[in-house]
Structure 1
Amino acid sequence: MIQSLPERMSFAEFVEWYPDNGKRYELHNGIVIEMQPTGSHELIAGFLAEELTLAIRTAKLPYTIPRTCLLKPRLPDSGYQPDVVVLNRTILIDEPLWEKASTIQYGKTVPLVIEVVSTNWQDDYAHKLVEYEAMGIPEYWIVDFRALGAVRYIGKPKQPTITVCQLIEGEYQIQRFIANQRLNSTIFPELDLTTDMIFQAAEM
């Protein structure tokens, strides 16, 4: 569920305004949107962050997963806050907005970004996919654990699906993973993670 707020802002104004109140916000074409994820949504995001953190430590990769992070796409007056974002610590020094506003604008700094689908699924499958591709982010996962996306994105019959988009020659090549399948990640090739493990993380 999302709730639109009345303010129109530039990206710079949004960064200055962003309140420290525990809530999450994104900027879409100058419109501030308060993100209100469900408990199940947060459980899946937390599980993925934990699994990836373990993979990072095991492989001794120079990556980190920040608690909060804004991505600044090429689209003017927009800023996204992914559910999970993996950053390359060795490149952070090249990010001019990182130290002041924990904001990333270069795709090379982001090996992997993950969005867990909620009622605003159009953003994840359409707008963000295009923008993350344009930024040059190597890998993008769309975790649709409630099968909310349109048939053209997840097939028919609709079922829980994880879409893995991998950047090849500047374009995302897309693979879909459904029940009881192991994910294929070029960023984490040794990752032993199945769709069922991710979907079950939403269960209490």
Structure 2
Amino acid sequence: MTTATDKLTLEEYFNYENSEEQHWELSAGNLIQMPPESPQNAEIAIKLLLIFAQFVAPGLLRCKDTEIVVSGSRTTVRLPDLMVLTAELADALRSFGRSTIMSDMSPPALVVEVVSPGKVNQDRDYRYKRSEYAARGIAEYWIVDPQINKVTVLILNEGLYEEKVFEGEQAIASCLFPQLQLTAERIFFS
């Protein structure tokens, strides 16, 4: 872990030796160790991956294995639970040779974050990532919250997200996937 005065650059983050096989995010230059997902969060991410695989080619889907560099006061790299890439972005990643979406690459079409328990995690997904992903130009951002069994779908409109919250048997509305037949109930309980 770095100290408050020991901020990493993007290059230092890329060269960081991870001998523990842990997942990390870089937040405002600070190296943040991400704990393993809870079984419920992992199941939700896989379930959504399988649902989106019905509409999207496998080469455009990423599940907890691709980082994205986002805007911020200092270098920030996020590791979303699930992403749907554009074909252009998938090609750029193949050419780059590292599963990191750099700031000069086009944004993913969709990012999904499954909220882990605790205020720090809630703040990160609902507040910080919301502004970072909007600034990055990500068209659709889903916040899937198993603590309250709600899905918040954020649609980018003129640089800001407009949100709709879905729960129970209410059909989730996605601008990118209008053919989607999905409810919060199905995500959390089936």
Give a deviation string over 1:12-38, Cα, whole Å, max 9, x none.
Answer: 211221637543110111111111121
1:99 equivalent in structure 2? 96
C-alpha distance in 2 between matches for 1:125 and 1:21: 29
Say which SS state the counterpart of residue 101 (structure 1) adopts: coil
C-alpha distance in 1 between matches for 2:159 and 2:9: 28
Relative contact order: is structure 1 or structure 2 higher (C-alpha 8 Å, sep ≥ 6)?
1
1:44 equivalent in structure 2? 44
CA RMSD in angstroms comes to: 2.3
Q: Does 1:74 align with 2:75?
A: no
1:140 equivalent in structure 2? 141
1:28-67 equivalences under 5 Å are: 28-36=27-35, 37-57=37-57, 63-65=60-62
Task: Give how far 1:6 is off.
Answer: 3.1
| 5+ residue gaps, structure 2 | none
In structure 2, relative to structure 1, the CA distance for the partners of 1:126 and 1:69 (3 Å cut) is same
C-alpha distance in 2 between matches for 1:178 and 1:66: 23
1:1-204 equivalences under 5 Å are: 5-6=1-2, 8-17=7-16, 19=18, 22-36=21-35, 37-57=37-57, 63-65=60-62, 68-75=65-72, 76-94=74-92, 99-104=96-101, 105=103, 108-118=106-116, 119=118, 120-147=121-148, 160-200=149-189
Amino acid at match of 2:75: D
Give a deviation string over 1:118-154, Cα, whole Å, max 9, x none.
Answer: 121100000000000001000000001112xxxxxxx
Asked if 2 retains the 8 angstrom alpha-carbon contact of 1:62 and 1:90, the reply is no
TM-score (norm 1): 0.80
| 5+ residue gaps, structure 1 | 148-159
Say which SS state the counterpart of residue 192 (structure 1) adopts: coil
Task: Give how far 1:74 is off.
Answer: 1.4
TM-score (norm 2): 0.85
Asked if 2 retains the 8 angstrom alpha-carbon contact of 1:27 and 1:78, the reply is yes
